[in-house]
Amino acid sequence: MRDATGTVAVVGTGTMGQGIAQVALLAGHTVRLHDVAPDRAAQAAEAVLGRLDRLVDKGRLDAEERAAAAARLHAHTGPDGVGDLADADVVVEAILEDLGAKQQLFTALEQVVSDETLLATNTSSLSVTAIAAALRLPGRFVGLHFFNPAPLLPLVEIVSGHATDEATAERAVKLATAWGKTPVRCADTPGFIVNRVARPYYAEAFRVYEERAADPATIDAVLRESGGFRMGPFELTDLIGQDVNESVTRSVWDSFFQDVKFTPSLAQRRLVQSGRLGRKTGRGWYDHTPGASRPEPHTARPCPAPEYAVPHGGLGPAAALPALAAEAGIALRTPAATAEGPTTPGDTTRHGCLELPGGALLRLADGSQPRGREIHFDLALDYRTATRVALAPADPASVADLAEATGFFQALGKAVSVIEPVPGMIVARTVAMLADFAADTVGRGVAGAGDVDTAMRLGVNYPVGPLRWCDDLGADWVADVLHNLHREYPTGRYAPGRSLLRRKGAES
């Protein structure tokens, strides 16, 4: 920008355009709101000022600042062009997601603004490179992808198209920082960072549901209460809108030439086709009509705690369980102190487990199908603070075996959800896939590791960045989960990527 309080033009006055205008306005800029529809820009300006009034009422903005901001806000209706935006130092576009419409807009803008004006698109699904292809000076064009609501969410993805100059990207980073945002940089790729890396969070939950391993309420509860995620994928997509979420998924899938790793969900497709789009229509995965009750997750009835457990080998990411069991009054015995060894010969050499008094084996979900008298338990972000744990018993496991396993975790203060024996369960397969997608994003030069983790924490409220999570779990453990899933589902969907395997190799 030519000065610290230069003019920012926002073209498109929907929810996102209004939010971006508010951010720029409160940063001290003169803001020009532009829309081709009569009166729409004026209505948007009134809506922005109404939000400022609410900030004043809450004590977060003083009346003088509000008055000064109102004096800097101008509404423009331009059915015949964008000539009123000629003095803009920055133009941010937030119109409909149509490539032709965006190209036409920016071509018109180039005819009236200075050659030094920064041109930016807020697109979430189109290629920044493709939009810039119609421009005379594509080097000054960049993606500024805000997240809704723009005034509240701190993340902005700074997306460099194929022709974007480095100086342009750096200028965009400085601008977003001056606006109080946290910018992350990435190359132009389908979904950018957040919408690319986040696909497995929805896809794996939908796959577990499609296999009838668990219902939406239980899957959501496990991911929240065990995985530490803010919202489960079913409730989150109901909030976003099933049509919006599925459209992003299909766009990324098509853009990656229908790569099997990005395959959309048939169950979600049927939901969209039925018009059950979530909260905005009253029904989605859940019933949101007035007075409707929310379904409860499956929670096992209380069972007595086992007297003891016998740890065999290391438990990897679940290494805290023996100590938690001891604190809960469950005795820990060494294998030599038992009359008999593990019920399933040889299984303790595959990976660690906890043997229960009746002979059942508790194993951390590893992407394989539980077998024999195994009962798999799901991954937790932190087994000490998790409030729920999911169990998946192998078919030969008895009712008594499951009761002992349930009592074990209930003694640790956890609610227990029993699901069908699906490979990788819920949290383990989701986190493994998120880590793989994140590693692939870095490996392909789309973004740096720090920016990927920052984007996922701030953009979609993940409890920890997926690459940091991968490091905490161990890339070898993550890769092993995916190898096992790949053996169970030999389609290529779960084959670990080269970047994750290199990360695994770097640990050894």
Write out the catalytic residue numbers: 124, 145, 157, 195
- Say if residues 223 and 205 touch (Cβ distance below 8 Å): yes
Q: Residue 134 in 3-state DSSP?
A: coil
Are 447 and 186 spatial neighbours (Cβ–Cβ below 8 Å)? yes
Distance CA 36, CA 298 (A): 51
Task: Look at the block and give the residue holding tokens 């964008």.
Answer: 82
Give yes or no for a contact between 377 and 389, defined as CB atoms under 8 angstroms apart.
Answer: yes
DSSP for 374-397? EEEE---S-TTT-SEEEEEE-TT-
**Distance, CA of 61 to CA of 46 (rounded, Å):** 17
Sign of CA dihedral 174, 177, 182, 188: negative
Per the listing, tokens 């079913």 go with: 234
Output b/e per residue, 489-507; b: 16+ Cβ within 10 A: beeebbbbbebbbebbeee
Q: β-strand 308-312 against 353-355: which pairing, if any? A: antiparallel
* Three-class secondary structure of residue 493 per DSSP: coil
**What length does the chain have?**
508
**Please, are residues 366 and 382 in contact by the beta-carbon 8 Å criterion?**
no
Q: Which long-range contacts (CB under 8 A, 24 or more apart) does 166-172 make?
A: 168/118, 168/139, 168/140, 168/141, 168/142, 169/142, 171/1, 171/118, 172/118, 172/120, 172/142, 172/144
Amino acid 190 reads P
Pick from 76, 77, 102, 106: nearest CA to 91: 106
β-bridge partners, 133? none
Retrieve residue 414's tokens.
């956890």
DSSP H helices in 58-127 = 63-72, 99-110
Q: Give the up-direction half-sphere exposure of residue 287: CA atoms within 13 A in the CB hemisphere.
A: 8
CA distance 127 to 121: 10
CA distances from 209 to 203, 463, 490 (A): 10, 23, 19
Q: Phi-psi region for residue 338, left (φ > 0), alpha (ψ -120 to 50) or beta?
A: beta
**Tokens 């998924």 sit on residue:** 249
Cα–Cα distance between 312 and 355 in angstroms, integer? Answer: 7
- Of the candidates 398, 409, 416, the one whose C-alpha atom is nearest the C-alpha of residue 354 is 409
- 61, with CB counted inside 10 A (0-12, 13-18, 19+), is middle
